[in-house]
Amino acid sequence: MRLLLAEDEKSLSRALTRILESNHYSVDAAYNGEEALDFLDVVYNGQDALDYLTEGDNYDGAILDIMMPKLDGISVLKQVRALENHLPILMLTAKSEIDDRVNGLDSGADDYLTKPFSMKELLARIRAMTRRQAETTDAILSFGDVRLDRSTYQLSTDTGTLRLANKEYQMLEMLMTNPGQVVSVEQFMDKIWGYDSEAEFNVVWVYISYLRKKLTSLHAHIQIKATRGLGYSVCMLP
């Protein structure tokens, strides 16, 4: 699961990133509001118009600090929601006044957490808001005789069930969401490992290999097909 963290206090951002990554989240860090919009691929077209680049729809949730330079978190939130983007968003702030919390929620935030906070509470809030988002989509992805449970990461056929590791699950979810459609190596890297990851592109092939072995072990009637120079897709076995 991939998160955007927009927090201008760099020491806090680094600490939060480490903890989130240790809890199996992929994290991109932004340090001001304009940078957050860049990560979310929300861009200005002219003076007032906004556009949203759908190929940048790579996040499962965002954490926005309210008091950020260049553009505050509430302004970022409003611009994202103005485009009818329903990305789960949690607001962080040092402010505790009721009016500030109400403003954030009325602007479209899914949740609100006041500093200082415990990491256990932050992790619980993230789980809750991303779970609510998942509940608005199908809990089970199906293609052929294969089923992927989005809540438990379980991959199953009529012959058995396996639980996928986090990155395996994310890759197969991307493939099964659009069966037959090629997903490029770059798309996998951006979505799962993040823009600034030091991982090599061959890590995608490694995880594709893991998934193929698991599909074979379950006697699945689908396969992951490589298209040279383009990427990977799921299709029915011939």
SS (H, E, C) the chain: CEEEEECCCHHHHHHHHHHHHHCCCEEEEECCHHHHHHHCCEEEECCCEEEECHHHCCCCEEEEECCCCCCCHHHHHHHHHHCCCCCCEEEEECCCCHHHHHHHHHCCCCEEEECCCCHHHHHHHHHHHHHHHHHCCCCEEEECCEEEECCCCEEEECCEEEECCHHHHHHHHHHHHCCCCCECHHHHHHHHHCCCCCCCCHHHHHHHHHHHHHHHHCCCCEEEEEECCCEEEEEECC
Q: Is the whole-model pTM more than 0.85?
A: no
Residue 23: what pLDDT?
86
Sequential pLDDT tens for the chain (238 residues):
789 999 999 999 999 999 998 888 889 999 999 999 988 875 433 333 344 333 335 688 999 999 899 999 999 999 988 887 788 999 998 766 667 777 778 888 888 888 888 999 999 999 888 876 665 556 788 999 999 987 788 999 999 999 988 789 889 998 998 899 999 998 888 777 765 566 788 889 999 999 999 999 999 999 999 998 899 999 999 8
The reported pLDDT for the residue numbered 152 is 80
Question: What per-residue confidence (pLDDT) applies to 147?
Answer: 95
Instruction: For CA atoms 194, 134, 117, 96, give the dihedral sign.
Output: positive
Q: What is the pLDDT, as a whole number, of residue 19?
A: 92
What's the confidence (pLDDT) of residue 201? 82
List the Cα angle 147/209/1 in 5-degree steps: 60
pLDDT in the model for residue 54? 35
Return all residues near 235 (Cβ < 8 A) that are at least 6 apart: 179, 180, 222, 223, 225
Instruction: With both helix axes pointing from N to C terminus, report the angle between 119-135 and 10-22 in degrees, rounded to the nearest 10.
Output: 60
pLDDT at res. 167: 84
